[in-house]
Structure 1
Amino acid sequence: MPKSPTKGRAQRAPLSPEKTFLNLLATDQQSTFRRVHLLGLLQSVSIMLQALGFSLLLAHLVLHQSLDLFGSGLAITGFVLRYLCQWGRELLSAKASREIRFPLRQRLVSKLAHLGPQRHRLDEDAGLSTRIYEQVDALDDYFARYLPQTVMVVLIPAVLLIATALVSWIAFFIFLFTAPLVIFFMILVGHKAAQANRKQFAVLALLSNQFLDLSRGLSELKRLGAVDQGRERLEFSADAYRKSTMSVLRLAFLSTATLELFASVAIAMVALYLGLGLVEQLPWAQGNTPVPLQPAFFLLLMAPEFYLPLRQLGNDYHAKQKAEAAASQLLAIDSAQLSSATKQALAVSSQTDNARVYFNAVTWTQDGRVRLEQVTQKIAAGQRVWLRGPSGAGKSSLMALLLGFEQPTQGQIYIDGEILDAQQLPNWRKRLAWLPQQAEWIQGTIRANLLLGLPSVDETAINRALVLSGCDEFIRRLPLGLDSQLTELGAGVSGGQLQRIAIARALLSDADVWLLDEPCASLDPETAEALLNTLDEVTQGKTLLIISHDTHPVVWADAYWIMKGGELYVETPDKCAFF
């Protein structure tokens, strides 16, 4: 009976997802790491040559009171070669780390961009930005220091053990049996450091989210007189982050002190053995010198070098734990599933004739819950549709499907008679003007925000968009006009003015399909009515879907839909709640 290939030998435990993730990142720089390892081997030999040269020089000075030129040359050669190799290793390791982290950050940012609003399933924007910047940078020490050191911790001791065995078997066994103790305590303390690092990253993400929330809602907190409560909450999180940071530092110092203690004891044992041997006082070798002066100098010089890689690995071991803690957070973003477009083309129904957008029995399920169920409806070219419904009814889910951030679980979405799939999505998005509840702004001028992502636009088109959107009057009153500064939170103008700037940006994009999500949210009735009148003027002839849960009378809409429990119904004007 044939034996199983794995029977009779221990099976390797599977790697954790974090370790697998880090290993996959390192594969792209394998050639660079191989050069680092080759320099590490050369450095190991140079350490031995340096110790041999200095031992010859010192022994000759003690015994003959003269300078040994051969030993001096060997020591200088080994010293220079050692530090050239070290410089080359650090340069290549830093390059490998940079080449790994920069593409990773770009990949994660791209993933979040493709996730769109669905990124909030992972974390708030402040927490995600902390992951993208802080935690990607937390991988630097792992790739630049820890990974190369894992090879050096084998190469240098192995080369020095071989050289030691040729001189003294007792010193060889002292090295051999004390080295595992250093590694054992390094791992023991390292597990505690890993837990502390994970806690630190979690607290940092929470602190970032709270700081962003406080910045966005500061004006509301002032009106409510709740600034003190917000500050106390932020202070509590900041104090928790301080404590978690100090916990990580405490464990790092404890790890270093432990390794230094065991390395010092082991070096002292070798020095004691060699010293007693030189004065012929060893109990088992009375009157004999087992190791002469020059080899004794050689072993004594190599003892610190033997434990140095282990001590350095111990110092860098917390970098490994920190990287694994960061990897667990980054892996959540990197492994987030983007919706795959359906590849099977269904026959285009006759219902798609003259339809700009057609939902064909669209069903969408998220986390086991049906968000949309058998939605079948069309939006004709140039038709303006108002979709209302309570929160959680499925309006935002329908919008996410139209934007391409999600794909139907069942059914199809047709755009001008063609299935909306991965190939059609880029062209479809170029035709869209998307106005969310809170538009995204960059730190810069109003002009820069208007032209963000657009090709060159002349002043005539800009002025026309400002007039149509009703922005020209209040922008003219600003001291710097279009060159007035706008923050990421839109500070400097009111909420209604921000919505008008967003409309102007949509006009400049020359999009023929407009998707609006709660454009009147958080606006007072007068401002909301004025904004809806503006939308009526600027969307003439455009295909428009506007979703809302309020009762603002959008009397100019061509069709009225209502969403209830994921199902879509068509209303007639005489049955609408606001008529």
Structure 2
Amino acid sequence: MNKTRQHELIQWLKKQSTPARPWLRLSMLLGLLGGLLMIAQAGLLATLLQSLIIDHLPRHLLVTDLCWLLVVFVLRAIVSWCRERTSFVCGMRIRLLIRNRVLEKLAQLGPSWVRGKPAGSWTTIIIEQIEDMQDYYSRYLPQIYLSALIPLLILLAVFPINWVAGLILLTTAPLIPLFMVLVGMGAADANRRNFVALARLSGKFLDSLRGLDTLRLFYRAQAETKQIVETSEHFRRRTMEVLRLAFLSSAVLEFFAAVSIALVAVYFGFSYLGVLHFGNYHTEGVTLFSGFFLLLLAPEFFQPLRDLGTFYHAKAQALGAAESLVTFLTSEAEVAIEQGDKKLSGNTPIRLVANELEILAVNGTRLAGPLNFTVLAGQRIAIVGHSGAGKSSLLHLLLGFLPYRGSLKVEGIELRELNTEAWRHQVSWIGQNPYLPEKTLRANILLSQPNASNVQLQQAIDRAYINEFLVDLPEGLETEIGDHASRLSVGQAQRVAVARVLLNPCRLLLLDEPSASLDMHSEQRVMNALSRASYAQTTLLVTHQLENICDYDLIWVMDRGMLLQQGDYSTLCQTTGAFASLLSYRSKEG
């Protein structure tokens, strides 16, 4: 990583801390207060020993100093706890903001762009890399200032007592960050390579797990296992490279700190023996107070630098993560998805008109078109064709996930002129794999209409045939369905998605093969519920199941991105063409 790029990433990291700057400043102030309390604690302890051992003061005269020592000790512990808490909140807020930006960017680029990378690599970016920034914001940034301010405070306390000890500390202190920078110069590059290796391993492993049945079917499981082992070994080497640099820089720091503390101890040892007679500002020589006080402060002088050394690798780690994040956040689709600020009014089924419509991929490749069609308000249209014909691409375009050329008007307004977020509130969508993010069955049904009444909820449950399996669930609607709806079958989960749509009918209903992968009973229930729901809104259904579309108003037959035939079921059955070929193909499959 060149210096220019590294400087840009550091500036980006610091810019992200702006919203949490009050927490950052509070953390620094608490750290500074902790440093002052540490100096006070050392001074009180040295005073007590001087008074007790050398001055032989009665013990009852030391009670006040002892009480103050206990108060300072408690205050220092409280300040330390508050600083840890404040630092964590600071890092947490910044991580939350960065993660929201990443998720917003993913939503902006759309699923078509996201599918271009393995799912595991997105997991690495969204979770691991953002989490690895916690120590940078919560510890490293405050410690940069504290590593300069606290040693300065200690020097201000040391020099008035003994200038030799102060000079030793002042001379050796700059050597530590200097050698640490020299040793850790390649740490950012090592962390970046480590993140790349982790993303590759995550993507490979997750994709292999998802395709395990296919790999076994084609006898590729052993070869895939070998590739995962090789990728894991590559990641192990990158991790050890990072750890080697971390241990080396820690050793450098401890070496110089130990040498400096030893020099201070040797100086005071020879001073007490009467060999050295310089460094003090008074003639009676080195007192127990001055020696003990300065020996207590010597390790504390280097502690902020030790902490900075520990957290220095948090900076290198954050730089490695920032490179991936900045690259992603600044990436753009080759063809931008345009949007305006117009919003539709009304709540009636919508009308769609396409003229020379060409659907484009995010890289500019034409997926389908040119298409010319009119969808009347409330019309029910089934779209059929072989895989890759462009059916799902049309639905993705209507959802605002793909760019286009030509014209596609919604209620007379060009789709690209509509506000995307407002437009999506007008659309209901059900795909092949239902997404149930909430904890309980009730919460998932009420996801789009949380204020629905119990009567409305029960109607949706009845119409989606959820009551057929509801009695088998131990806690009914309050049953926790688990991660990825693991307690429900695919058919049951799809019925929950249907109930969600029934509870909150929109102006346009998009169905992307909702009965795929369902058993016969579940398919019948889902399609019956959706068929009844489709009469209340304009509906586009993509399907391979030709027997479910007999009563639809129109059937569109697509092939290689073109709309080849339009008509109702009976008309197309009597016409030679693409639909007749599909019927023949399906009958042979059956």
TM-score normalised to structure 1 length: 0.76
1:354-385 C-alpha deviation (Å, 9 max, x unpaired) = 97122355454523534456554332222333
Deviation at 1:264, TM superposition (A): 0.2
Q: Name the structure 1 match of 2:513.
A: 518
Give the drift of 1:439: 1.9
Taking a change above 3 Å as real, the CA distance of residues 387 and 336 of structure 1, as seen in their structure-2 partners, is farther
The alpha-carbon distance between structure 1 residues 74 and 261, as it changes in their structure 2 partners (threshold 3 A), is farther
1:28 corresponds to: 19
Q: CA deviation at 1:314?
A: 0.8
Question: What is aligned with 1:160?
Answer: 154
Kindly report which structure 2 residues correspond to 1:447-458, keeping only aligned pairs within 5 A, or say none. 447-457=442-452
Identity %: 35
Mapped contact 1:37–1:148 kept (Cα < 8 A): yes
Q: Which of 562, 576, 582 in structure 2 is aligned with 1:578?
A: 582
2:173 is aligned, of 167, 179, 183, to 179
In the alignment, structure 2 segments of 5+ residues that lack a partner are: 343-348, 584-590
- C-alpha displacement at 1:23, in angstroms? 1.1
Aligned to 1:399: 395
Q: TM-score with structure 2 length normalisation?
A: 0.74
In structure 2, distance between residues paired with 1:60 and 1:485: 67
1:293 paired with 2:286, answer yes
Q: Is the 8 A contact 1:454 1:509 kept in 2?
A: yes
Out of 554, 557, 562, the residue aligned to residue 558 of structure 2 is 562
The 8 Å contact of residues 112 and 362 in structure 2, kept in 1 or not, is answered as no
- The structural deviation recorded for 1:49 is 4.6
The one of 433, 436, 450 equivalent to 2:431 is 436
Provide the rounded CA distance (Å) in 1 between the counterparts of 2:354 and 2:397. 10
Give 1:3's aligned residue. none
Displacement of 1:434 in angstroms is 0.6
CA offsets per residue over residues 96-136 of structure 1, 9 Å max, x none? 23333344444544554555524624755555445444443
2:265 equivalent among 271, 290, 295:
271
Q: Please give the alpha-carbon distance, in whole angstroms, between the structure 1 residues aligned to 2:250 and 2:35.
A: 23
CA contact (8 A) 1:445 1:485 kept: yes
CA contact (8 A) 1:441 1:489 kept: yes
| Alignment check: 8 A CA contact 1:216 1:489 kept | no
AA aligned to 1:399 is L
RMSD of aligned residue pairs (Cα, Å): 4.7
Aligned pair in 2 of structure 1 residues 392, 270: CA closer, same or farther (>3 Å)?
A: farther
Amino acid at match of 1:266: S
Say if 2:140 is the partner of 1:146.
yes
Question: CA offsets, 1:292-333, max 9 Å, x none?
Answer: 313554543332222111111111222222333333444456
> Contact 1:355/1:378 (CA < 8 Å) preserved in 2?
no
Cα distance change on mapping 1:355 and 1:13 into 2, 3 Å: closer
1:469 shift after superposition? 5.3
Deviates more, 1:139-148 or 1:488-497: 488-497
The residue type equivalent to 1:430 in the other structure is H
Structure 2 CA distance for aligned equivalents of residues 481 and 84 of structure 1? 48
Matches within 5 A, 1:133-532: 133-166=127-160, 170-191=164-185, 193-195=187-189, 197-198=191-192, 201-202=195-196, 205=199, 248=242, 251-281=245-275, 288-291=277-280, 292-294=285-287, 295-331=290-326, 334-335=329-330, 341-343=338-340, 356-363=351-358, 364=360, 366-371=362-367, 375-388=371-384, 394-408=390-404, 410-420=405-415, 424-442=419-437, 446-457=441-452, 486-491=481-486, 495=490, 498-522=493-517
| Aligned-partner Cα distance in 1 for 2:136–2:432 | 41
Residue of structure 2 equivalent to 1:9? none
Q: Measure, in 1, the Cα distance between the counterparts of 2:115 and 2:11.
A: 24
Matched residue SS, 1:562: strand
CA distance in 2, matches of 1:81, 1:534: 66
For the 8 Å contact 1:127–1:209, the answer to whether it is kept is: yes
Q: 5+ unaligned residues in a row in structure 1: which ranges?
A: 1-11, 283-287, 346-353
CA distance in 2, matches of 1:74, 1:14: 54
The 10-residue stretch of structure 1 (306-315 or 233-242) with the greater mean CA deviation from structure 2: 233-242
AA aligned to 1:564 is: R
Change (3 A) 1:445 1:239: farther
Is the 1:52–1:71 Cα contact (8 Å) retained in structure 2? no
* Partner amino acid, structure 1, of 2:141: L
